């Protein structure tokens, strides 16, 4: 929800055009909630969710570690004050020269999900720790991460064996249960797979030490979501169930759950219209759309809460679209979005819970619209 600080900022600064305003105090609170929910786990903030320098500096000062997907993200974390031993290169798809650059920067923790990638890491970052990502089905997630990353657990065994043979330190297993995961039992299934890999390697004389439990912690959009504490309890129970009293080191990589609810997008109604005189479908066009930062409305996956100055008036479903000349730039049509019928051109609306996966998804200048401006306060 928009905090008072965000509302005051918008009202006094009157920023022109669509923008995302993010309250660092909410990020601070989220960080503490994760710390309290999973006190034994190290937090690696997933930088891709929102790499604003102010956020990275705050998290670095609070003691966070950083999950980075590229050399540029790793450099941003370093610039924010994190040391290289607090940074992981968590992308399973890396150019060998980028692995070498990360190694030069001092990074020694890398994700892999196949032997081909292990070979690159062994050449470019000799002796480093690697963890192998296993596939999950993403069931229960509103933004599933599909089959692009990870391998089946049986293959993870071979990958980690190969890593050890090539002089790397086979350190653990990772997974990501899918983003905006509202099913608390998703971690249980994945931790069962992780334990399987631990056991198989143990039979080969290799003791894995770490489970990277990924992100997936949700932000509240239209529906309530369980608290960080509820996630912590469910995850701790699943860990105990599978690993007994020999718990591995654990990492969590919250992205959305760390910054999503800290940000709000201020946007403006550009047009309200219909397609025919006798058509009762109302189209509402905002000055922000899929290319301006709301990419996660793709397939209507993420459904944001929108507040308007006319809330309380009678609301009826409408098609909600962005301002560009691209017909894909429609946010909600299959499942129309209820907005007040009194909503009119020029009204300012707030799109809540937009601190994650918005500014970085915004096109540089598609159709001449400038990239989504961001104010971190
Ligand atoms: C994107 C990503 C995350 C963050 O996921 P959220 O669902 O936003 O918490 C964590 N880990 C990895 C490896 C990622 O790619």
The residues that are catalytic are 325
User: Would you say how long the chain is, in residues?
Assistant: 377
**Residues 182-213 pLDDT 10s:** 999 999 999 999 999 999 999 999 999 999 99
- Does the beta carbon of 142 sit less than 6 angstroms from any atom of ligand 1? no
334 CA from centroid of ligand 1 (Å) = 28
Q: Give the number of domains in the chain.
A: 2
Could you identify the atom of ligand 1 that is nearest to the CA of residue 260?
8
**Residue 87: predicted pLDDT:** 98
pLDDT in tens, 80-95: 999 999 999 999 999 9
Q: Which residue has the higher pLDDT, 364 or 270?
A: 270
Residue 323 maps to which CATH number?
2.40.37.10
Q: Could you read off the pLDDT of 115-169 as tens digits, one per residue?
A: 999 999 999 999 999 999 999 988 888 887 777 899 999 999 999 999 999 999 9
Question: Ligand 1 mean position to 371 CA, how many Å?
Answer: 23
The alpha carbon of residue 27 and the mean position of all alpha carbons in its chain are separated, in whole angstroms, by 14
Same domain, 331 and 216: no
- Report the atom number in ligand 1 closest to the C-alpha of 253: 10
Distance CA 48, CA 50 (A): 5
Show the tokens assigned to 194. Answer: 């992780």
Residue 365: pLDDT band by 50, 70, 90 thresholds? confident
The verdict on the CB of residue 48 being under 6 Å from ligand 1 is yes
> What per-residue confidence (pLDDT) applies to 268?
98
The percent of residues above 90 in pLDDT, for the chain, comes to 93
Distance from the alpha carbon of residue 358 to the mean position of ligand 1, in angstroms: 14
Distance CA 108, CA 85 (A): 7
Say if residues 125 and 103 touch (Cβ distance below 8 Å).
Answer: yes
Give 246 Cα–ligand 1 centroid separation in angstroms: 26
Residues 122 and 199 in one domain: yes
Q: What is the pLDDT of residue 203?
A: 98
49 Cβ closer than 6 Å to some ligand 1 atom: yes
Query: Is 249 part of a structural domain of the chain?
Result: yes
- Average confidence score pLDDT of the chain: 96
Are 157 and 250 within one domain? yes
CA atoms lying within 13 Å on the CB side of residue 262:
27
Strand extents, DSSP E, the chain: 19-22, 41-46, 65-68, 87-89, 109-112, 129-133, 141-143, 169-174, 179-181, 210-212, 249-252, 263-273, 282-286, 306-307, 315-321, 330-340, 348-352, 373-376
If one compares 39 and 139, the residue with the highest pLDDT of the two is 39
Q: What is the pLDDT of residue 366?
A: 87
Residue 363 pLDDT: 86
Please give the pLDDT value at position 246: 93
Within this chain, do residues 231 and 293 fall inside the same structural domain, yes or no? Answer: no
Give the tens place of pLDDT for each residue, 288-312: 999 999 999 999 999 999 999 999 9
For residue 150, count other CB atoms closer than 10 A to its CB. Answer: 26
Q: Given a cut of 80, is residue 1 above it in pLDDT?
A: no
214, 237, 259: which is the final residue of a domain? 259
- Residue 245 shares a structural domain with residue 342: no
Atom 1 of ligand 1, residue of closest alpha carbon: 46
For ligand 1, say whether the CB of 175 is within 6 Å of any of its atoms. no
CB-based burial label for 334 (10 Å; 0-12, 13-18, 19+): exposed
Do 187 and 329 fall within a single domain?
no
CATH label of the domain that carries residue 44: 3.20.20.10
- Whether 66 contacts 86, CB under 8 Å: yes
User: Does the C-beta of 215 come closer than 6 Å to ligand 1?
Assistant: yes
Burial class (CB in 10 A: 0-12, 13-18, 19+), 367: middle
Give residue 364's domain range.
Answer: 261-376
Query: What pLDDT, on a 0 to 100 scale, did the predictor assign at position 147?
Result: 79
Secondary structure (DSSP) of 93-143: ---HHHHHHHHHTT--EEEESSHHHHHHHHHHSTT-EEEEEB----TTEEE
- Looking at residue 130, its pLDDT comes to 98
254 lines ligand 1 (CB under 6 A): yes
- Neighbour-count burial of 126, counting CB atoms closer than 10 A to its CB (0-12 exposed, 13-18 middle, 19+ buried): exposed
Q: Tell which residue, 170, 208, 217, 175, has the closest CA to residue 90.
A: 175
Instruction: Read off the pLDDT of residues 348-361 as tens digits, 9 standing for 90 and up.
Output: 999 999 999 999 99
Domain boundary (233, 259, 285) is at: 259
Among 226, 259, 292, residue at a domain's last position: 259
Does residue 218 line the site of ligand 1, with CB under 6 A? no
Residue 176 has pLDDT above 80, yes or no: yes
Structure confidence at residue 254 (pLDDT): 98
Ligand 1 centroid to Cα of residue 254, in Å, is: 6
Q: What is the pLDDT of residue 368?
A: 85
358, part of any domain: yes
């Amino acid at each position: 929800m928009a905090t008072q600080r965000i509302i005051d900022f918008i009202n006094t600064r009157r920023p022109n055009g669509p923008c995302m305003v993010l309250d660092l105090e909410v990020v601070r609170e989220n960080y503490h909630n994760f710390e309290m929910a999973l006190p034994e786990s190290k937090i690696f903030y997933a930088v891709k969710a929102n790499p604003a320098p102010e956020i990275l500096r705050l998290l670095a000062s609070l003691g966070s570690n950083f999950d980075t997907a590229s050399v540029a993200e790793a450099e941003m974390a370093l610039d924010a004050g994190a040391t290289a031993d607090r940074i992981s290169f968590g992308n399973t798809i890396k150019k060998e020269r980028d692995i070498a650059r990360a190694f030069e920067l001092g990074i020694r923790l890398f994700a892999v999900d196949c032997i081909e990638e292990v070979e690159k890491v062994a050449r470019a970052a000799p002796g480093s720790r690697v963890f192998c990502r296993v596939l999950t089905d993403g069931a229960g997630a509103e933004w599933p991460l599909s089959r692009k990353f990870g391998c089946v657990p049986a293959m993870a065994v071979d990958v980690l064996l190969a890593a050890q043979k090539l002089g790397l330190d086979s350190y653990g297993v990772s997974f990501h249960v899918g983003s905006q995961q509202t099913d608390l039992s998703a971690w249980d299934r994945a931790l069962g797979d992780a334990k399987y890999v631990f056991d198989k390697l143990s039979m080969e004389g290799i003791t894995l030490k770490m489970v990277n439990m990924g992100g997936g912690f949700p932000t509240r959009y239209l529906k309530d979501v369980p608290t960080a504490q509820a996630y912590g309890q469910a995850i701790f129970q699943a860990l105990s169930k599978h690993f007994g009293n020999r718990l591995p080191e654990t990492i969590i990589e919250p992205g959305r759950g760390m910054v999503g609810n800290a940000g709000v997008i201020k946007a403006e109604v550009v047009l309200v219209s219909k397609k025919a005189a006798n058509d009762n479908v109302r189209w509402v066009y905002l000055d922000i759309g899929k290319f301006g930062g709301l990419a996660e409305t793709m397939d209507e996956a993420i459904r944001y809460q929108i507040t308007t100055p006319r809330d309380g008036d009678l609301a009826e479903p409408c098609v909600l679209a962005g301002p560009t000349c691209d017909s894909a730039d429609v946010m909600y049509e299959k499942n129309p979005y209820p907005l007040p019928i009194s909503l009119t051109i020029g009204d300012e609306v707030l799109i809540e819970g937009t601190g994650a996966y918005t500014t970085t998804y915004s096109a540089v200048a598609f159709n001449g619209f400038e990239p989504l401006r961001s104010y971190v306060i």
